[in-house]
Amino acid sequence: MTYSTPELSQLQYWLSHVSNSHGDVSQKWLISGLSLKQSAKAASHFVAEDQLETYSAAHVKRMKACLKGEFSLLCALMGEDVFDVLVQACVMALPSQSVTFHTLGKAFVRFLANSWPQSKFNASQSALFEVYVELARFERAKAEVLASKGSEQMPPAEFALNEFELLGGGASLNIMVPDCVRLLMSEYDIFPLLSQLENRQTKGVESPAMPARETRYIALTQQNGQLITQPLTHWQADLLSHCNQATSFEQALANSARRQGVEPAVHRARLAMWLPAAVDSGLLVVETAKCPAATT
């Protein structure tokens, strides 16, 4: 009996299915849509099922290693045994459909947020679960930022920002948040925890203290391959969250002042003082607004 050679897309789907779904190898390939003999060529000392079993185990092991690398601080906080159990459960519960391992972290954060038991816990236990999720969200944002192009690769500004000129008006300016920026709102002050965990990994210090429950706004970006993490005020985070596309300075100012419930003049003053620093740190890009073409 002869078998036709499968298309590459069919083979990719087949390998993904048998590697990530439940059941033993013989069960998985029977329902995968392709014959095992179409998809695996047996060596003299290995049958096709043995080859597939080896590939599947190595694939899952590699996914687990990727998640452990991306969430190293979370692993350090909860311990390797607990982390490995959660990663194994995530890989089985949310099989990856992507051809790259970079998307695994996003699914892991979602799994972590939805996997805690719904039983009653005391305040310290509930806080610990929530801190795990907050830390996972931070490390995922960090991975996405470092995988993006930094703001230094964007065309340089043709002018220097001046706080006093901004106070007088910025009608000719557009502002935009670059693609490499990620914004987070955390219910805990995780900055001290991050520092403690990083020191613990390098110096082996004792277990870190849990962070205080306090709403924090965080911006992550990168320049020249270096991660930049900055705390934000509420109004700064609000402004950045509404500038994903090029927006005129005056429109951004008016809309932000309205959302914050402050006088536009007051908001203009603090925005004018902060904007140059935000541009220097890669949180915003400023460009000259294009004037509409003249009509005759």
Beta bridge mates, 182: 220
Q: Give the pLDDT score at 56.
A: 62
State the average pLDDT over residues 38-62.
56
Portion of the chain with pLDDT greater than 90, in percent: 30
Report pTM. 0.76
Q: Give the pLDDT score at 231.
A: 95
Crossing angle (nearest 10°) for helices 264-280 and 234-241: 80
State the average pLDDT over residues 283-291.
74
Per-residue pLDDT tens digits for 196-238: 898 875 555 567 888 989 999 999 999 888 899 999 999 999 9
Per-residue pLDDT tens digits for 78-134: 888 999 888 888 877 776 666 667 788 898 999 998 887 666 777 787 888 899 999
Q: Which helix (H) or strand (E) holds 70?
A: helix 48-70
Helix (H, G, I), strand (E, B) or coil at 238: helix
Pick 185 or 16 by higher pLDDT. 185
Q: How many CA atoms lie within 13 A of 89 on its CB side?
A: 13
Q: Give the pLDDT score at 219.
A: 96
- Position 254 pLDDT exceeds 70: yes
Banded pLDDT at 296 (limits 50, 70, 90): very low
Q: Give the pLDDT score at 42.
A: 40
Domain segments of the chain: what residues?
8-100, 148-288
The hierarchical CATH code for the domain 148-288 is 3.90.930.50
Residue 228 CA to residue 188 CA, distance in Å, equals 19
Banded pLDDT at 166 (limits 50, 70, 90): confident
